[in-house]
Amino acid sequence: MTTLPPIIEALREAKAIAVLTGAGVSKESGIPTFRDAMEGLWAKYDPAELATPEAFARDPEKVSRWYDERRVRCSAARPNPGHRALADLQAWCGERGKSFTLITQNIDRLHQAAGSHDVIELHGTIWVWRCTLCGDEQEERGGPFERYPPLCACGGFRRPAVVWFGEMLPEQALRRAFDTAEASDLFFSIGTSGLVTPAADLIHIAARRGARTAEINMEPTSITGLTDWAIHAPAGEALPRLAAALV
């Protein structure tokens, strides 16, 4: 954690701060990452085989059941100190007239539950389910669905409003994320491998525009050597220390 003081100084000097978070942040709340070994009935499946439009077309019951189990699991999760520290950092920036934008690859909305606002969701959210026939979207916060796949009032199958392999990211969210990276003068990558594009491109865009960059992750990643500062620690440990040092 010896790199903490320089990052604190960078935060104090920055006028436009951008943060990208990945699955490592929510893992500390008990939500397994997408690549973690699956359990129970799902142990024999590769998650990538379930997260495609083709998989849903072949077996909508299986795919929707898997995602609904993930939704129910997310409902039991609570924001961890890392989530709360980012909400505190956003409030700190607001009090000082600084721009702060949180971009996430996570679909669980734990950032919003912790108090963060105007979060850019690059990969959608598991809480919203969309009809594949009429496009109607509804937020689902209850228990497990009674049938799989759940049906829309129009009779169409409903699917989670998340981005599957082979699908485009939401255009507005992606544009905002790229604009944010270009305008930032300090960019954080937290709890993400830096491998999944186009999210992985954001820190490179920020760096090319002259922003200072920092990484917080348990292990070194493909971008570690490119950042100005790298902290190898849990986000739930590093971020509260960072937020506390700003007071």
Ordered by start, the domain boundaries in the chain are 4-31+80-123+170-246, 40-76+127-162
Residue 154 CB-density burial (10 A; 0-12 exposed, 13-18 middle, 19+ buried): exposed
Note the pLDDT tens digit of each residue in 2-54. Answer: 567 899 999 999 999 999 999 999 999 999 876 665 565 556 777 778 899 99
Domain 40-76+127-162, CATH number (from 1.10.3720.10, 3.30.1600.10, 3.40.50.2300, 3.30.1490.20): 3.30.1600.10
Average pLDDT over residues 138-150: 96
- Rounded to whole angstroms, how far apart are CA atoms 208 and 222? 17
Residues annotated as catalytic (active site), given as ranges: 123
| The CATH homologous superfamily of the domain defined by 4-31+80-123+170-246 | TPP-binding domain (3.40.50.1220)
In order, the DSSP letters of 46-88 are: -HHHHSSHHHHHH-HHHHHHHHHHHHHHHHT----HHHHHHHH
| pLDDT > 90 fraction of the chain, expressed in percent and rounded | 86
